[in-house]
Structures are given as C-alpha cells and as structure tokens.
C-alpha cells in the first residue's frame, strides 16, 4: 500500500522499534533508539504501543539453506503478539551478481510490520537456534511499512 492510496485506516509502524540482536543471540529484541522504551504502531487506523524487551522477537524454527540470503519480517498484532515471517531465500551469489532480487515477505492479516532482518547464511541457518551474526551476517531494518521494492544486492 502506498500512503498516497490511504483513504481510511492504515497499518503502519509509527516510531522506530530499534530491531537488534537479543542477548540470547538466536533471537531479536526491540530497543527504541529515542529512549522512550516503546514503539508505536497502528493497525487499521487504531494506535497501539509495545514496550521494549530483550528477546521479545522470537523466530519460528524455519531453516535457511547454506549460501543463501533471506529476509525475515517482524510483525506485531493489537495484543502485542510478535510473529516473524520467513521470506523466500535466494542464492547469495545470484543476489550479489544482480541475477535475482530479494522479495519482502507479506505480513499476516491483522499484523503490522515493524522491522526485518536480512540473513546471509554461510552455513545452514535455523531461525531460533542458530546465533545471528555467528558465521551468518545479519542486517537489521526498522520499517514504517513493507517497502514497495525488493532488495537487489
């Protein structure tokens, strides 16, 4: 959805969640960079807040093949239940060479996207088990909404 198409409602993250690796290293956390201790989001035009917490963004046991790159989308619902959605993995060499692009996962109904992590797996990566950043490069993104263009490198 483009903001120019927004007539009523809207599902958006309104402040930076500060997505980062958690202390367990196999999960993530929110850490609002403004120091407020929470981030704000809207689902269908209604405002909500979620308090920062360590390891509050848990992966499911999705497995990513070695030598691939994949996006994982962090989303939240009105009850502050966080769901991480695995995207489609692509061969890292093909992404780097510009042969393929990395599509953003689609959020589930009733969930607001607030962040994402791009994992470049040098070995098999099992979300929720394999440590982020240990042999697997991780890039974190804070999101207003799902970007309208894929990642091309």
Average pLDDT of the chain is 90
pLDDT digits (tens, 9 = 90+) for 19-31: 998 887 777 899 9
| Residue 57 near residue 74, CB atoms below 8 Å | yes
| Dihedral sign computed on CA atoms, order 17, 122, 64, 127 | negative
pLDDT at 5: 57
Alpha-carbon distance of 95 to 91, in angstroms, equals 6
Under 8 Å CB-to-CB from 97, ≥6 apart: which residues? none
Is 70 exceeded by the pLDDT of residue 79?
yes
Q: At residue 50, does pLDDT exceed 90? A: yes
Q: Single out the residue of 44, 33, 112, 103 nearest to residue 80, CA to CA.
A: 112
What are the tens digits of pLDDT across the range 121-150?
Answer: 999 998 888 888 767 888 999 999 999 999
Q: Determine the Cα–Cα distance for residues 104 and 89; give it in Å rounded to an integer.
A: 10
For the segment 30-39, what is each residue's pLDDT rounded down to a tens digit? 999 999 999 9
What b-and-e string marks burial along 29-58, b requiring 16 or more CB atoms within 10 Å of the CB?
A: bbbbeeeeeebbbbbeeeebebebeeebbb
Q: Please state whether the predicted TM-score (pTM) of the whole model is above 0.95.
A: no
Report the pLDDT value the prediction gives residue 25, as an integer from 0 to 100: 72
Residue 69 CA to residue 1 CA, distance in Å, equals 25
Name the band, by pLDDT with cuts 50, 70 and 90, for residue 42: very high
């Amino acid at each position: 959805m483009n903001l120019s198409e927004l007539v009523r409602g809207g599902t958006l993250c309104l402040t930076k969640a500060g997505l980062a690796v958690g202390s367990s290293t196999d999960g993530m956390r929110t850490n609002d960079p403004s120091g407020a201790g929470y981030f704000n989001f809207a689902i269908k035009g209604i405002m909500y807040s979620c308090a920062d917490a360590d390891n509050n963004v848990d992966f499911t046991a999705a497995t990513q093949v070695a030598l691939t790159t994949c996006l994982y989308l962090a989303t939240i619902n009105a009850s502050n239940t966080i769901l991480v959605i695995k995207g489609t993995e692509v061969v890292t060499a093909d992404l780097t060479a510009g042969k393929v692009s990395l599509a953003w996962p689609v959020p589930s109904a009733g969930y607001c996207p607030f962040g994402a992590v791009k994992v470049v797996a040098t070995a098999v990566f099992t979300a929720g088990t394999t440590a982020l950043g240990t042999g697997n490069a991780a890039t974190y993104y804070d999101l207003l909404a799902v970007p309208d263009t894929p990642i091309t490198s």
